[in-house]
Amino acid sequence: MIETFKLIIEEHISFRKQILKLAKSDLVKMYRGAALGWAWAVIKPMVTLFVFWFAFSVGLRRGGPIDGYPFFLWLIAGMLPWFFMSEMIVGGAACIRNYKHLVTKMKFPISTIPTFVNISHMFTHLILLAVTIALFISFGYFPDKYYLQIPIYMLMMFVFFTVWSLFAGLLSALSKDFQNLVTAFSSAIFWMSGILYDVNKIRHGWIRLLLKFNPVTVIANGYRKAFIYKQWFFEDTEELLCYCTTLFIFILAATWAYKRLRKEIPDVM
């Protein structure tokens, strides 16, 4: 396992230039052929946000201010990382299949495919982050010292979903049933991850603790700490410990899967 983990690191170091080039290519391909081009990186998420805002604030009338912030801004703060994470939950599982030509026709290390796909989606995330900060400013809420921890949560998000994509991508390349399973559960992950509610307000302690082992919950809550709650990432040690535990488990799982499947995948595909 340790030797396989070292191999993955070495492959990333050796192919670092190719990773960046492929990330750029993936980013261009994402919006190629669309008349509005990069505008879709903002339009699609904003339409989704409007639908949720309308449903909760106008339809259900349960969108009152939270910690002095309008519900719309509270919703944006949690949805912002979700747009990235949702792409990587499903897209990460399909990434190796989507780039099977790199596996079957070229001697390109499989472990680096999830990384450049992740990087390309991170660029889109940065655009949405800039739009979100602009929206907060337009409402009269200016950046403060708590914004300094946003890059930390971005790194946590990037690392976990790169590891997830390697694990899920390998299994999906071996069996498309796993990819279909991930797609089927993506909606369940959304509704059970505290995107639309505060996990810390759940009465049952064991349910609250269980949900904190979900990195989606931790990262969405982390963005809200920066934008809304004004708390530092290190104040909730339980949350950090849960994230690190889940990350460690998936690192072991991804390393094991890479060790067992990296030589079989080209033949299977």
Residue 54 lies in a domain: yes
Mean pLDDT, residues 143-161: 95
Q: Report whether pLDDT(223) > 90.
A: yes
Between these two residues, 225 and 18, which has the higher pLDDT value? 225
Assess if residue 31 is contained within a domain: no
Count the domains in the chain. 1
pLDDT mean over 137-164: 94
What is the percent of the chain with per-residue pLDDT over 70, rounded to a whole number?
90
Q: Give the per-residue pLDDT at 211.
A: 87
Q: Which domain holds residue 154?
A: 2-26+41-59+70-268
pLDDT given for residue 63 in this prediction = 60
Say how far residue 242 (Cα) sits from the centre of its chain.
Answer: 17
Torsion on CA atoms 49, 55, 57, 60, rounded to nearest 10: -160
Could you tell me which of 164, 27, 21, 202 has the C-alpha nearest to residue 102? 21
What pLDDT was estimated at residue 249?
Answer: 95
Mean pLDDT of the chain: 85
Q: Are 265 and 173 in contact (CB under 8 A)?
A: yes
Residue 236 located in a structural domain = yes
pTM across the whole model:
0.88
Query: Could you tell me the pLDDT band of residue 158, with boundaries at 50, 70 and 90?
Result: very high
Q: What is the pLDDT of residue 229?
A: 92
pLDDT digits (tens, 9 = 90+) for 22-34: 888 877 776 665 5
**Of 62-76, 118-132, 201-215, the least confident:** 62-76
Instruction: Write down the pLDDT at residue 32.
Output: 62
pLDDT given for residue 260 in this prediction: 86
Q: Over the stretch 234-247, which tens digit does the pLDDT of each residue have?
A: 888 999 999 999 99
What's the confidence (pLDDT) of residue 18?
86
Q: Is residue 111 part of a domain?
A: yes
Residue 55, in any domain of the structure: yes
In a domain, 32, yes or no: no
Q: Please indicate, yes or no, if residue 86 is contained in any of the structural domains.
A: yes
Residue 173 in any domain: the answer is yes
Rounded distance between C-alpha atoms, residue 118 and residue 26, angstroms = 10
Tens digit of pLDDT for each residue in 46-80? 777 777 667 666 655 566 677 788 888 888 898 89
The DSSP annotation for the chain comes to: -HHHHHHHHHHHHHTHHHHHHHHHHHHHHHTTT-TTGGGHHHHHHHHHHHHHHIIIIIIS-----BTTB-HHHHHHHHHHHHHHHHHHHHHHHHHHHHTHHHHHSS---GGGHHHHHHHHHHHHHHHHHHHHHHHHHHTT----GGGGGHHHHHHHHHHHHHHHHHHHHHHHHH-HHHHHHHHHHHHHHHHTTTSSS-GGG-S-HHHHHHHTTSHHHHHHHHHHIIIII---GGG-HHHHHHHHHHHHHHHHHHHHHHHHHTTTHHHH-
The most confident of the ranges 8-22, 29-43, 151-165, 188-202 is 151-165
